[in-house]
């Protein structure tokens, strides 16, 4: 952890204690003992072993009746009588709300055998209803059994149906389905002693053509979740490939269950997690709503057999050897199973809750937040409407937020300084009567770029004639005050829309040109705050031979994403705003999964995840260039646009989407193809931008929000969050598919809007087949006003 890290910034871990076979009652006292140890919650089974035995006896009696019957249809399905006092230890009291109630893991709601499914449903419904009656707030449910004989994933829909029903029993309860990260048919705990699943009759276990697969399906468990859509995840000891981890990361996860078996023993015999697991926990704990951690089967609560025992609280302060991850103390190497076997057992564990202590230690040692994480805290995955600084007048507080950026203004200053140095070195003529380089910040806001231009002039030693143009009358007040108080009157402040500004006025009543036009009119998708339209409109003041625009160009970029949380939020907004699903939103993307990545094509086809357990970096998304704008535009293009204005015959027959077509040179359209290795759901498109502020002999200065280039071009820049183009109906993407995205920038001379369409293709026997297509989305009703 960074020494300067602020403890207030550190994530809070909520840690629970869970035993899959808790054999002792969860009493108020036990809960207090667990809290003394620094656990935040406990799991408790809803029903007892007595109830389990009662159900098994009922099943045997039914099977005996079937065997004895001449006509099986005459035997009624078994009925479980209501719970009795011996069937459950749970009771309504003050502490029940702090428990995570467990439904019986031995039922099989997904069983293809109707008798097993019928019994399981009854058990499940009675348990959920009783837990809700007692006031339980969270219920953990064993996920569906994914394999029955030859059948794979056959009963997931049955399971999902039962969950729906349970939600109607307890509308205020959180149901959390416990799932493994990957579907490994060779590891199936539901076939244990006492489980109902093995009682399923053979006749119901025959596959519908073909044997059920016995190979690991990395996305199989996610597939099941996709039908059920509420989840708790069990962290396996061998983490699956990063593509699977990233997929789960994008889902609204409530609980992360870490079984004791997932811990390793380090050289000194302490229980630790692999570097990969640590990285995964860190990733999750940086979410706005991080999941709770459930330590599973790490031994009983200390003192369970001794109510008078004095508990020591896990504080998270551990010795270096206690937390050393590996046998050789190297942080990048975990023990192989053979090495682990050689590690001497810890003789006498001093710490009664070593796993909890280790998790508390991790909590204390989370890496410090990056500037963007600190700045954006609370904004993760929160949808915001993009600003319209042209149509609206921004508030002072909005400018204040921009001005906190530690990078943007610094980079602008570098760009202006480089431009001034080159101007001087190249001996270019200037537009001012006294030879100063005329610099205008157009859209000056409260003036931070003006300050930077003045500094750039001082540091480069190039004299400038400084102008600040702003159309927001309120910001204009501050600009004038600034000029008086801090710029010593060195700036001429003009209140004007830049498009109608005539240029620097001279003593003789004429208007001169500007040598360097500085602007910051960029939105999250580069051109969505109408920088192209504004800069075209002010180009008439630019020095026609040497004039420079800072920025000189900008590009929009995008990539398809799975974003279930954003999709739900957009859908919820639709009730009050029908345009929400067709409105691009600014959002600090966090819990998302990139569907198309540039990682080497290994993971989903290989049978295991990263070998060493070492931290694997998330794959690089395939972020593609959509389009570009450069400034100044050619004089011929501006001349044609001017000709079209007013609708003369010489200006053509009008615009394709309305208006005269005067802004049609800013129309753009582009189709992109993204390769997707793993199946998933496309909920929308993530948009970014890059810009070249200046490029010349003195250097190139760029800004970027593109996740692939931001670190190289403008690390820690916080001014812009990405943009999200939602899909009304998510598009299901099969394995080894291609996503084609077509994007349009449309205009009718009065506004600009975007349109987008997503198609999914697979190639079968050499033919590219379209398997899904989204609607054509259009933000025309919510366009950016010119
Ligand atoms: C994104 S803010 C940038 C403000 C300031 N340059 C900064 O970097 O903090 C864009 C500014 O441009 C102004 N603006 C937008 N369109 C304009 C136009 N056509 N003419 C003049 N000002 C404009 C807005 O009012 C706003 O102050």
**DSSP letters of 469-507?**
EE--HHHHHHHHHHHHHTSTT-EEEEES-GGG----B-T
Considering the domain architecture, whether residues 91 and 48 belong to the same structural domain is answered as yes
Q: Pocket of ligand 1, candidates 386, 387, 388, 389: which has the most ligand atoms within 8 Å of its Cβ, to mutate?
A: 389
Element (H, E) at 769: strand 767-773
Q: How far apart are the CA of 444 and the centre of ligand 1, in A?
A: 6
Strand partners, 675: 738
The total of structural domains in the chain comes to 3
**Which amino acids are annotated as binding site, given as ranges?**
399, 408-409, 470, 497-498
Query: Which residue lies with its CA nearest to atom 1 of ligand 1?
Result: 521
Q: Which two tokens stand for residue 592?
A: 């998302």
Q: Strand 151-152 relative to strand 147-148: parallel, antiparallel, unpaired?
A: antiparallel
pLDDT for position 120: 96
Closest approach atom of ligand 1 to CA 498: 20
Query: Which residue lies with its CA nearest to atom 23 of ligand 1?
Result: 443
Q: How far apart are the CA of 521 and the centre of ligand 1, in A?
A: 6
Give the C-alpha separation, 241 to 21, whole Å: 30
Query: Which residue lies with its CA nearest to atom 6 of ligand 1?
Result: 444
Residue 371: how many other CB atoms lie within 10 Å: 15
Closest approach atom of ligand 1 to CA 522: 1
Residue 511: how many other CB atoms lie within 10 Å: 12
Q: Pocket of ligand 1, candidates 521, 523, 529, 586: which has the most ligand atoms within 8 Å of its Cβ, to mutate?
A: 521
**Which amino acids are annotated as binding site for S-adenosyl-L-methionine, given as ranges?**
399, 408-409, 470, 497-498
Range of the domain at 433: 396-520
Closest approach atom of ligand 1 to CA 402: 9
Q: How far apart are the CA of 445 and the centre of ligand 1, in A?
A: 5
Question: Is 431 part of a structural domain of the chain?
Answer: yes
SS3 call for 251: coil
Give the C-alpha separation, 124 to 508, whole Å: 89
Give the C-alpha separation, 688 to 707, whole Å: 8
Smallest CA-to-CA distance from 412 within 520, 548, 486, 553 is with 520
Q: Pocket of ligand 1, candidates 471, 477, 663, 693: which has the most ligand atoms within 8 Å of its Cβ, to mutate?
A: 471
Question: Is 277 part of a structural domain of the chain?
Answer: no
Query: Which residue lies with its CA nearest to atom 22 of ligand 1?
Result: 443
Residue in the structure block whose two tokens are 């904004």? 379
Considering the domain architecture, whether residues 61 and 207 belong to the same structural domain is answered as yes
Question: Is 343 part of a structural domain of the chain?
Answer: no
Give the residues surrounding ligand 1 with Cβ less than 6 Å away.
389-390, 394, 399, 402-403, 443-445, 448-449, 469-472, 475, 497-499, 520-521, 534
pLDDT for position 336: 57
Closest approach atom of ligand 1 to CA 501: 20
> Sign of torsion, CA 512 513 516 517?
positive
Q: How far apart are the CA of 599 and the centre of ligand 1, in A?
A: 40
Considering the domain architecture, whether residues 478 and 559 belong to the same structural domain is answered as no
Query: Which residue lies with its CA nearest to atom 12 of ligand 1?
Result: 443
Considering the domain architecture, whether residues 74 and 198 belong to the same structural domain is answered as yes
φ, ψ at 489 (rounded to 5°): 70, 15
Task: List, by residue number, the catalytic residues.
Answer: 520, 529
Q: What is the DSSP letter of 108?
A: -
Q: Strand 516-519 relative to strand 737-747: parallel, antiparallel, unpaired?
A: unpaired
Give the C-alpha separation, 322 to 267, whole Å: 9
pLDDT for position 222: 78
Give the C-alpha separation, 641 to 649, whole Å: 13
Q: Which two tokens stand for residue 267?
A: 């050289």
245, 176 Cβ separation under 8 angstroms: no
Question: Is 485 part of a structural domain of the chain?
Answer: yes
56, 193 Cβ separation under 8 angstroms: no
Smallest CA-to-CA distance from 135 within 93, 163, 82 is with 93
Q: Which two tokens stand for residue 586?
A: 């600014």
Q: Pocket of ligand 1, candidates 386, 397, 443, 468: which has the most ligand atoms within 8 Å of its Cβ, to mutate?
A: 443
Question: Is 207 part of a structural domain of the chain?
Answer: yes
Question: Is 246 part of a structural domain of the chain?
Answer: no
Q: Which two tokens stand for residue 417?
A: 């300084």
Q: How far apart are the CA of 712 and the centre of ligand 1, in A?
A: 27
Considering the domain architecture, whether residues 512 and 654 belong to the same structural domain is answered as no
Cα 538 to Cα 304, 500, 513, 638, 723, distances in angstroms:
77, 7, 11, 11, 27
Q: What ipTM was predicted for this assembly?
A: 0.99
Question: Is 350 part of a structural domain of the chain?
Answer: no
Query: Which residue lies with its CA nearest to atom 4 of ligand 1?
Result: 445
C-alpha 179 chain-centroid distance: 20
Closest approach atom of ligand 1 to CA 497: 20
Contacts of 282 (CB under 8 A, 6+ apart): 362, 366, 367
Last residue of a domain, one of 520, 541, 571: 520
Considering the domain architecture, whether residues 413 and 476 belong to the same structural domain is answered as yes
556, 526 Cβ separation under 8 angstroms: yes
Q: What is the pLDDT of residues 560-616, one digit of tens each?
A: 999 999 999 999 999 899 999 999 999 999 999 999 999 664 544 444 444 445 567
Strand partners, 491: 466
Last residue of a domain, one of 177, 207, 230: 230
CA count, 13 A, side-chain hemisphere, 178: 26
R_g over Cα of the chain: 32
Considering the domain architecture, whether residues 563 and 515 belong to the same structural domain is answered as no
* CATH code at position 716: 2.70.160.11
556, 689 Cβ separation under 8 angstroms: yes
φ, ψ at 244 (rounded to 5°): -75, -40
pLDDT for position 606: 43
Where b means 16+ CB within 10 Å and e means fewer, 536-571 reads: bbbbbbbbeebbbbbbbbbbbbbbbbbbbbbbebbe
Q: Name residues of the chain where pLDDT drops below 50.
A: 1-5, 327-333, 346, 601, 603-612
* CATH code at position 513: 3.40.50.150
Length of the chain as a residue count: 786
Give the C-alpha separation, 737 to 679, whole Å: 8
SS (H, E, C) 369-427: CCHHHHHCCCCECCCECCCCCCCCCCCHHHHHHHHCCCCHHHHHHHHHHHHHHHHHHCC
pLDDT for position 318: 75
Question: Is 568 part of a structural domain of the chain?
Answer: yes
φ, ψ at 30 (rounded to 5°): -60, -40
Query: Which residue lies with its CA nearest to atom 11 of ligand 1?
Result: 443
Smallest CA-to-CA distance from 504 within 477, 538, 463, 534 is with 538
pTM for the model stands at 0.84
Give the C-alpha separation, 269 to 350, whole Å: 12
Last residue of a domain, one of 230, 246, 263: 230
Closest approach atom of ligand 1 to CA 519: 6
First to last CA, the chain: 48
Contacts of 514 (CB under 8 A, 6+ apart): 431, 438, 439, 440, 467, 503, 504, 541, 542, 543, 547
C-alpha 255 chain-centroid distance: 17
Residue 419: how many other CB atoms lie within 10 Å: 30
SS (H, E, C) 526-589: EHHHCHHHHHHHHHHHECCCCCEEECCEEEEEEEEEECHHHHHHHHHHHCCCCCHHHCCEECEC
Considering the domain architecture, whether residues 588 and 633 belong to the same structural domain is answered as yes
SS (H, E, C) 711-738: HHHHCCCCCCCCEEEEEEEEEEECCCEE
Considering the domain architecture, whether residues 506 and 572 belong to the same structural domain is answered as no
Q: How far apart are the CA of 527 and the centre of ligand 1, in A?
A: 14
SS3 call for 702: strand
Considering the domain architecture, whether residues 566 and 454 belong to the same structural domain is answered as no
Considering the domain architecture, whether residues 429 and 490 belong to the same structural domain is answered as yes
Q: How far apart are the CA of 403 and the centre of ligand 1, in A?
A: 13
Residue in the structure block whose two tokens are 């040179």? 665
Considering the domain architecture, whether residues 126 and 176 belong to the same structural domain is answered as yes
Smallest CA-to-CA distance from 423 within 471, 482, 472, 464 is with 464
Q: How far apart are the CA of 469 and the centre of ligand 1, in A?
A: 9
């Amino acid at each position: 952890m960074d020494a300067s890290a602020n403890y207030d910034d550190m994530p809070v871990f909520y840690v629970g204690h869970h035993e899959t076979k808790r054999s002792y009652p969860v009493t108020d006292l036990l809960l207090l003992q667990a809290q003394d140890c620094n656990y935040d919650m406990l799991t408790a089974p809803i029903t007892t072993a007595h109830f389990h035995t009662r159900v098994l006896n009922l099943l045997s009696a039914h099977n005996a009746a079937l065997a004895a019957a001449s006509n099986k249809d005459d035997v009624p399905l078994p009925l479980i009588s209501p719970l009795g006092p011996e069937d459950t230890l749970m009771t309504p009291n003050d502490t029940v709300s702090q428990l995570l109630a467990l439904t019986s893991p031995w039922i099989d709601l997904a069983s293809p055998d109707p008798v097993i499914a019928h019994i399981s449903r009854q058990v499940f419904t009675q348990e959920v209803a009783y837990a809700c009656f007692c006031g339980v707030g969270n219920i953990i449910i064993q996920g569906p059994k994914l394999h029955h004989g030859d059948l794979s994933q056959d009963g997931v829909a049955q399971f999902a149906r039962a969950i729906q029903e349970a939600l109607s029993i307890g509308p205020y309860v959180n149901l959390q389905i416990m799932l493994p990260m990957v579907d490994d048919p060779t590891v199936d705990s539901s076939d244990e002693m006492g489980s109902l699943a093995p009682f399923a009759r053979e006749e119901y276990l025959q596959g519908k053509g073909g044997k059920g697969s016995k190979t690991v399906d990395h996305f199989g468990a996610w597939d099941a979740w996709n039908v059920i859509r509420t989840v708790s995840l069990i962290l396996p000891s061998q983490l699956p490939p990063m593509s699977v981890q990233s997929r789960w990361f994008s889902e609204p996860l409530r609980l992360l269950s870490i079984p004791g078996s997932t811990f390793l023993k380090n050289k000194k015999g302490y229980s630790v997690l692999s570097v990969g697991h640590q990285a995964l926990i860190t990733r999750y704990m940086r979410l706005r709503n991080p999941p709770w951690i459930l330590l599973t089967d790490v031994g009983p609560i200390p003192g369970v057999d001794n109510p008078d025992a004095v508990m020591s609280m896990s504080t998270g302060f551990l010795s270096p050897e206690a937390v050393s991850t590996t046998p050789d103390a190297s942080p990048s190497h975990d023990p192989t199973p053979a090495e682990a076997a050689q590690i001497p057992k810890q003789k006498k564990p001093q710490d009664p809750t070593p796993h909890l202590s280790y998790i508390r230690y991790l909590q204390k040692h989370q890496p410090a937040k990056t500037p963007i994480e600190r700045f954006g805290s609370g904004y993760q995955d929160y949808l915001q409407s993009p600003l319209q600084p042209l149509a609206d007048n921004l508030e002072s507080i909005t400018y204040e937020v921009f001005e906190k950026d530690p990078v943007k203004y610094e980079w602008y200053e570098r760009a202006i300084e480089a431009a001034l140095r080159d101007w001087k070195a190249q001996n270019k003529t200037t537009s001012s009567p006294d030879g100063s380089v005329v610099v205008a910040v157009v859209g000056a806001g409260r003036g931070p770029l003006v300050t930077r231009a003045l500094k750039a002039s001082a540091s480069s030693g190039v004299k400038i004639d400084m102008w600040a143009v702003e159309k927001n009358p309120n910001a204009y007040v501050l600009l004038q005050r600034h000029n008086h108080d801090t710029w010593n009157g060195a700036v001429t402040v003009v209140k004007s829309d830049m498009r109608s500004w005539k240029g620097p006025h001279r003593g003789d009543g004429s208007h001169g040109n500007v040598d360097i036009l500085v602007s910051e009119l960029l939105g999250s998708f580069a051109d969505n705050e109408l920088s192209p339209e504004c800069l075209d409109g002010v180009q008439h003041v630019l020095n026609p031979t040497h004039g420079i625009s800072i920025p000189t160009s900008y590009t929009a970029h995008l990539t398809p994403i799975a974003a279930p949380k954003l999709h739900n939020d957009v859908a919820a907004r639709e009730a009050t705003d029908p345009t929400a699903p067709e409105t691009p939103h600014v959002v600090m993307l966090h819990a998302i999964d990139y569907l198309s990545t540039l990682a080497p094509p290994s993971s989903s086809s290989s049978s295991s995840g990263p070998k060493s357990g070492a931290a694997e970096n998330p794959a690089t998304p395939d972020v593609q260039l959509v389009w570009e704008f450069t400034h100044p535009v050619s004089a011929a293009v501006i001349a044609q646009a001017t000709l079209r204005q007013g609708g003369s015959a010489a200006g053509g027959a009008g615009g394709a989407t309305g208006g005269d077509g005067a802004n049609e040179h800013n129309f753009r359209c582009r189709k992109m193809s993204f390769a997707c290795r793993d199946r998933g759901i496309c909920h929308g498109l993530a948009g970014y931008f890059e810009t070249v502020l200046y490029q010349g002999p003195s250097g190139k200065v760029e800004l970027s929000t593109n996740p692939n280039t931001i670190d190289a071009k403008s690390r820690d820049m916080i001014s812009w969050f990405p943009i999200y183009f939602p899909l009304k109906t998510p598009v299901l993407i099969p394995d080894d598919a291609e996503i084609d995205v077509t994007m349009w920038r449309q205009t009718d001379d009065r506004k600009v809007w975007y349109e987008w369409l997503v198609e999914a293709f697979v190639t079968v026997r050499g033919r590219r087949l379209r398997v899904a297509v989204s609607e054509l989305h259009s933000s025309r009703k919510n366009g950016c006003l010119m």
